[in-house]
Every structure is written in structure tokens, then in C-alpha cells.
Amino acid sequence: MIVDYSKIKLGLLMLVALITVGCDNKSVVDETNNTPVVRPAKLLKVGQSSIKELMSFPAVIQAQQSSELAFQVGGVIVKMAVIEGQAVEQDQVLAQIDSRDYVAKLDVAKAQYENANAEYKRALALVSSNLISKSELAKRKADNEVTKSQLTTAKKSLDDTTLHAPFSGRIAKILSEKDESISAGKQVFMLLSLNQLEAKIDMPSRVIVHSRESDKRGLTAYVVLDAAPEYQIKATFKEVALEADRESQTYEVIFGFDSLEQLTILPGMSATVFVKEKNPDYSPQVMVPLSSIGSEGDLTFVWLVDTNTMAVTKRTVVLKPGIGEEFKVLNGLELGDTIVVAGISTLIEGAIVRPWIK
């Protein structure tokens, strides 16, 4: 029996061709029920994301205002009115020391002043009738002023036995305790203002060198906490260090921002500062990812999605030369257009797609 292999080979090739054609047709229309086949596809609305256009820098949160609080007089602490981490209001009592000695000193000072003041007034009445010398009048006047000053000092010392919050904030640290004997000036509390906060970043010299002082004031910036990435907190430029870090060649830059009621933001928290310089000539840029770009000869294209019918059409685009994961579109697309950004090699003209969901 003689087998004609050339005929078998030809038959196989024809069978493969028919199968391929059938598959291609089914990519658009299912012939069994004459309905379009819908393909899942990863879609992107052009210009939807702008975060990649911003410079980002790791940041550390710090308090804009802090104060080391201490008694101006010494004594034994008899009252601690707050605990660490507690929020306090301006002028709120934080602690008190034993005031009994200071009350006694005030009583003595008050009595001395009242006596000296009475003697001075008596001398004024007598000097006009030459019953007292002018030198004696001067001495009594001096005694009156000295005792008055001592009275003022005694009053202040008594007031200083109570420590008040100089501003609203939060007690970050307590360094003394009740019944402890402390000297004047020894730190008792660390108070931080948490209404106005700062984000400190290290900015490279290559960015600083191209930024004028007026440009820094026009920066658009916001802070994103690592612990709460869903919040974008508007920030403003405050200051930049004039001396760079010798090793990293970066400059310390401070941005200020207001705390949010729904968040407890504390110094030491990590965050990211996103920065963008205001440019009056800026116009929105149409950017597309590398995965969405196809080519045919000298032409470059993307698959444009009609959001009404979800059908795809090949759209020729002109790209700005470059390298990277994203390319700027000079012509062919507009902000708001929807394109396919994955699996473009399997698409054909008129195919119906739906958003791909993981």
C-alpha cells in the first residue's frame, strides 16, 4: 500500500486553517447564539491619576511648637493634675507645689509694705512744715519702693507654685511625680502643640538648586501619613536649611500643616510629602503606560474603548520619545479617554470588553 503523505499534509494544513478562522470569528461573535463575546480587559481612564506627576519624599512628623515646662520656684509637688498623653487647654492647671511657705512670705511682705507706705505718707505731710528733713523723706520713699518690689516678688512666687499650660496641646512627657521635692527650673513636663504640625523632609540638592525662593513659596504640597494613607492633608512650605548634610547632600525642608479632628497625629510618625511646583504654563499631560502601546511598522497605537458600547478601536497616537513605564501622548488621545492597558495583543477591531476585576 502506497501512502501519499503530501495529500495528508495538505489536508492537515487546511484543517488548521479552518480551526483558526473559526476561533478568530468567535473572538467577536458567538455563532451559536449570534451574540458578541465579551472579553475581560484591564482599562485605564487617561489622566485619571496625577500622583506620579508629583515629587515624593519620606517625612517625619514633628510638633510646630513645644515647651519644656518647669516651676520657677522650688518646693514639694503636692498635686499632679494631668497624665502623659493628655490633651490640655491653654491656662489649664498642670501641677502645684506646697504653697504654705510662699503664703507666709507674702503676708510678711504685705505687712512690711503697708508699714513703709504709711511712714512715707506721714513724711510727705510733715516735710511741708519742716518737721522732717528732706533726707529722711528720701529714705522713707526708698523703703516704700523696696517693700513694694518685695511684695510684687512675693505675689509672683506664690503664683508660680501653680504651673499652667502656656498653650493648648498634649502632655508628651512627665519628668517628676507627686511628693517629689524639686528645685526651681527643673523640667516637669514636655508640652507639644498638636494643632499645628510640621513634616520634615530631606530634599536633594539637585532639586533645591533649580528652585528659587519665590518658587518655594508657591509649592503645592500635601502630607500622607503611613498609618492613614486615605487622607491627603494640605501643607505649606515653611523653611529650608541653608547648609546641606555632608554625607547625603540633602537639605532639611519643613512643611507646616494643621491637624485633622478625625486623626490623632503625634510627633515621630512617618509620612510622605508630595510636592509639586506651581507653573502658570502647566497644562494637563496625557500619559499612558508602556503596556498599552502597540506598533505596526512605523505607526504606534493604543486600543481605545467606546464607553457606550465597550467596543475597542485601534487609535494611532504620537508619543514623546523617552524611556520608562509611562509615555506622554502628543497627539491621538485626550484626557478622559479610556484605553486597554493589558493583553492588547489578543484584541481585534470591534471586540467587546468589560473591566477586568481581580
Per the CB < 8 A criterion, the answer to whether 239 and 203 are in contact is no
Identify the residue whose cell numbers are 502647566. 282
Among candidate residues 238, 235, 96, the one with its CA nearest the CA of residue 176:
96
Q: What is the pLDDT at residue 243?
A: 87
Q: Nearest 5°: phi and psi at 274?
A: -100, 130
Cell of 14: 487546511
Question: pLDDT-derived band of residue 6, with 50, 70 and 90 as boundaries?
Answer: very low
- CA 175, chain centre distance (Å): 29
Q: In which element (H, E) is residue 191 found?
A: strand 187-204
pLDDT tens-digit readout, 290-334: 889 998 888 999 999 998 999 999 999 998 876 667 788 889 998
Amino acid at 119: E
Q: What is the pLDDT at residue 261?
A: 83
Most distant pair of Cα atoms in the chain: their distance: 163
- Structural domain spans, the chain: 38-47+284-355, 55-64+190-277, 99-160
Q: Quote the CA–CA distance of 301 and 295 in Å, as a whole number.
A: 6
Amino acid at 208: I
Q: Give the number of other CB atoms < 10 A from CB of residue 142.
A: 12
Cell of 234: 494640605
Q: What is the pLDDT at residue 132?
A: 81
pLDDT tens-digit readout, 149-162: 999 999 999 999 99
DSSP collapsed to 3 states, 94-123: EEEECCHHHHHHHHHHHHHHHHHHHHHHHH
Q: Give the number of other CB atoms < 10 A from CB of residue 126.
A: 13
Domain 55-64+190-277 architecture: Beta Barrel (2.40)
Overall average pLDDT of the 10-21 stretch: 41
Cell of 9: 499534509
pLDDT tens-digit readout, 161-216: 999 999 999 998 999 999 999 999 999 999 998 888 999 999 887 677 656 554 55
CATH code for 99-160? 1.10.287.470
Give the pTM: 0.52
Q: What is the pLDDT at residue 216?
A: 54
> Mean of the per-residue pLDDT values for the chain?
82
Please tell me if the domain spanning 38-47+284-355 has the same topology as the one spanning 99-160: no
Burial 276-302 (b: 16+ CB within 10 A, else e): ebeeeeeeeebbbbeebbbeeeeebbb
Question: pLDDT-derived band of residue 276, with 50, 70 and 90 as boundaries?
Answer: confident
Cell of 299: 505607526
Q: Quote the CA–CA distance of 269 and 233 in Å, as a whole number.
A: 14
Higher pLDDT: 351 or 324? It is 351
Torsion of CA 86, 88, 92, 93, to 10 degrees: 20
Q: Is pLDDT above 80 for 284?
A: no
Q: What is the pLDDT at residue 46?
A: 83
Q: By CB neighbour count within 10 A (0-12 exposed, 13-18 middle, 19+ buried), where does 252 fall?
A: middle
Beta bridge pairs of residue 96: 79, 162
Q: What is the pLDDT at residue 65?
A: 87
CATH code for 38-47+284-355? 2.40.420.20
Q: What is the pLDDT at residue 289?
A: 86
Q: Is pLDDT above 50 for 9?
A: no
Question: pLDDT-derived band of residue 69, with 50, 70 and 90 as boundaries?
Answer: very high
pLDDT tens-digit readout, 77-115: 999 999 998 989 999 999 999 999 999 999 999 999 999
Q: What is the pLDDT at residue 54?
A: 67
Q: Give the number of other CB atoms < 10 A from CB of residue 43.
A: 20
> How many helices and strands, by DSSP H and E, does the chain display?
5, 23
Identify the residue whose cell numbers are 510618625. 269
Identify the residue whose cell numbers are 501643607. 235
Identify the residue whose cell numbers are 518658587. 215
Q: Quote the CA–CA distance of 239 and 255 in Å, as a whole number.
A: 7
Cell of 19: 480551526
Question: pLDDT-derived band of residue 355, with 50, 70 and 90 as boundaries?
Answer: confident
Q: What is the pLDDT at residue 33?
A: 52
pLDDT tens-digit readout, 218-266: 567 889 999 888 898 999 999 888 888 888 888 999 999 998 888 888 8
Among candidate residues 257, 238, 69, the one with its CA nearest the CA of residue 170:
69
Q: Quote the CA–CA distance of 347 and 337 in Å, as a whole number.
A: 18
